[in-house]
Chains A and B, each alone.
Chain A
Amino acid sequence: MGLEGRGGEAERSGVVPGAPTFLTTRLDYVINWARRSSLWPMPFGTACCAIEMMASAASKYDLARFGMERMSFSPRQADLLICAGRVTYKMAPVLRRIWDQMPQPKWAISMGACASSGGVFDVYSMVQGIDTIIPVDVYVPGCPPRPEGLIYGILMVHEKIKRESITNPELRKKLRFEDESIVARPNKPADVIEEIAQPFGNSTKQNRVSGLVSTRPRSRPADRKP
């Protein structure tokens, strides 16, 4: 049902004499509301996408609107990893380690073409999509994406958080790997990595890899309804 007691001019204006001073809601709703309203991003900026990420955090686009003004440069105090830029194989263990250090619950955004699929860097030294290294919740396309794109990706993470439930461990498992045996291991089996690392492989398979059904542009406004 969502947060009750939002309606009414009197309540919006503040406490009204005689009005109830409590409200009833669902535990899941409150928890999800709190989690999504103050995501602390862990910026993993390795290239030009990081410039757009900084622009998103600056005054014009103002990530503070979403409770995200605190860029957490410490993985242990962060719950949203934004991987902005290309990742080399030499950097891959660093990314994996930072992800492993972040406490649950945590989410990841792969920002830009290089982080999502290797981009134009289909060469010996580049990770072909960070979803071979860590589980990714939202892929933001673009080279680099505009701040609007990143903010839209963040709102998609919000939608994902809204669908979670603390009483449903299966959903939790599905949304985020919590298996300790995969710490510091590749995120996908070898044959899946081979498949998505083929030229153009990742760009056509990301929806499947992320566990989300395809979101066509036409259906997107509906995604945002509370």
Chain B
Amino acid sequence: MVDVSDTAMPSVEGGTVVAALRARFGDAILHHEVQAGDEHVVFILASRNVEILRWLKEDPDHRYDLLQDITGVDYGGGRPIQVVYQLWSITHRRSLRVKAELPLDALEIDSATTIWAAANWLEREAYDMFGVHFVGHPDLRRILMPDNYAEGHPLRKDFPLRGRFSRAEQTRRALDFSLEDFYTPADLELAGLRPHADALNPPAEGKDAGAAAAGDGEAADGAPDGASR
């Protein structure tokens, strides 16, 4: 059970988080704003984001265990792009917004996928829309735009509303797709649109282990049969 006193005064409680962050991380906490009455926004040093976020999740007094969103904000005019982490503590019913600012010429920040699995697709979206590179992300691909999209990152302020290419070129590129741009090889194999890897490369002696590991039924069945005879 949660103590009622924990939830009664969210702004005060949010303030204690900020104080605790300052006490623990010192210079890594750049500044702090309160928006819309009781929404605490903490600006942190981008180079120490994983350390701070992990503490916020794991410290028993705070437990921001739900990552609601990761997004970017581009205010234009050459100002740095902000990476925003919107956190929610299920235990204490509190929210916290953590922001890290990245200069336009160094859009790199460590990935939070090791802390929250939910960060995977959220970081892909931030990468797709803003071009922020999340170092250490297991699969940093575009998620909304097609993989062969070559016009840039659409939510940046310097991105023209109708895109960079002409409409005819956009149409041509959209139709001039290859299935590999949209699906992984495993998906294509499932759909029967690509021959099984074994059919492409007849298994040599050394590849039996690989085929069995890939979960291919025939190869897995064949080996015990041969052994029993």
- Identify which of A17-25, A109-117, A183-191, A206-214 touches chain B: A183-191
Chain A nearest CB, measured from B168 CB (Å): 4
The distance from the CB of B132 to the nearest CB of chain A, in whole angstroms, is: 19
- Residues of chain B lying within 8 A (CB to CB) of residue A127: 171, 174
Q: Decide if A186 touches B159 in the complex (CB within 8 Å).
A: no
Interface range for B: 20 to 34
Q: Cβ of B173: which chain A residues have Cβ within 8 Å of it? A: 89
Q: How far is the CA of A123 from the CA of B164 in the complex (A)?
A: 11
Majority-rule SS of B interface residues: loop
- List 22 A-B pairs, Cβ < 8 Å: A89-B171, A90-B144, A90-B145, A90-B146, A92-B171, A93-B174, A93-B177, A122-B161, A123-B163, A124-B160, A124-B161, A125-B145, A127-B171, A127-B174, A133-B175, A184-B175, A185-B175, A186-B171, A190-B172, A194-B166, A197-B167, A197-B168
Which single residue of chain A is at the shortest CB-CB distance from B169? A190
By the criterion CB–CB under 8 Å, are A186 and B172 in contact?
A: yes
Kindly state whether residue B154 has any CB partner on chain A within 8 Å. Answer: yes
Q: Is B151 an interface residue (CB 8 A)?
A: yes
B positions within 8 Å CB-CB of A: 144-146, 151, 154, 159-163, 166-175, 177, 182
How far apart are the CA atoms of A122 and B182 in the complex, in Å?
24
Within 8 A of B (CB), among A101-145: 122-125, 127-128, 132-133
A96 touches B (CB below 8 Å): yes
Main secondary structure of the interface of A (DSSP, over half): loop
Q: Please name all residues of chain A whose beta carbon is closer than 8 Å to the beta carbon of B151 when the two chains form the complex.
A: 124
With the chains together, A123 CA to B161 CA distance in Å? 5
Q: Is A186's CB under 8 angstroms from B162's CB?
A: no
Closest CB-CB distance, B146 to chain A, in whole Å?
5
What distance in Å separates the Cβ of B158 from its nearest Cβ neighbour in chain A?
13
Question: Are B175 and A193 neighbours in the complex by a CB distance under 8 Å?
Answer: no
In the complex, which residues of chain B have a beta carbon less than 8 angstroms from the beta carbon of A191? 168
Chain B residues with CB under 8 A of A125: 145, 154, 163
A122-B162 in contact given A90-B145, A197-B167 (Cβ < 8 Å): yes
| Residues in B neighbouring A96, C-beta threshold 8 A | 175
Distance between B142 CB and nearest chain A CB, rounded to angstroms? 10
Residues on B with C-beta less than 8 A from A124 are 151, 154, 159-163, 170
Given A124-B154, A125-B154, A185-B175, A193-B167 contact (CB < 8 Å): yes
Tell me the nearest residue of chain A to B147, going by C-beta. A90
Report Cα–Cα, A190/B167, bound state, in Å: 8
Residue of B nearest to A189 (CB): B168
Question: CA of A194 to CA of B160 in the docked complex: distance in angstroms?
Answer: 17
Q: Do B168 and A193 touch (CB < 8 A)?
A: yes
**What's the least CB distance linking A16 to chain B, in Å?**
57
